[in-house]
Amino acid sequence: MSIHVEATPNPNAMKFTSDKMIFDGNSSISVMPGQTSEHDILNKLMELDEVDNVFGFQHFITVNKKMNVEWDELTGKVEEVISEYGY
């Protein structure tokens, strides 16, 4: 599988898109600090120290980083987690 990474208008957020469906249905999923989700992939991303919150919908996950983190140190970690789940 391959993950396409793209910037968003928010410099603290990046969109990670898969060619496979990650989340079924038409509802989005957000996980904020201190929360968990029924989706293990989002919980695993929230375990990364550099991640502030995540948002998922169908084929993509948007990751918001903490302010003091650079994308070059986080992008690979996010891709690794997403790949662990087969996307």
Phi/psi at 47 (nearest 5 deg)?
-75, -20
Q: pLDDT tens string for the chain (87 positions)?
A: 589 999 999 999 999 999 999 999 999 999 999 999 999 999 999 999 999 999 999 999 999 999 999 999 999 999 999 999 999
Say how far apart CA 63 and CA 6 lie, in whole Å: 11
Q: Hey, is 48 helix, strand or coil?
A: coil
CATH class entry, domain 3-84: alpha beta
**Could you tell me the two tokens for 46?**
């929230």
Can you give the residue ranges of every domain in the chain?
3-84
Look up the pTM and report it.
Answer: 0.95
**Largest separation between any pair of C-alpha atoms in the chain:** 34
Please tell me what DSSP assigns to residue 19.
Answer: S
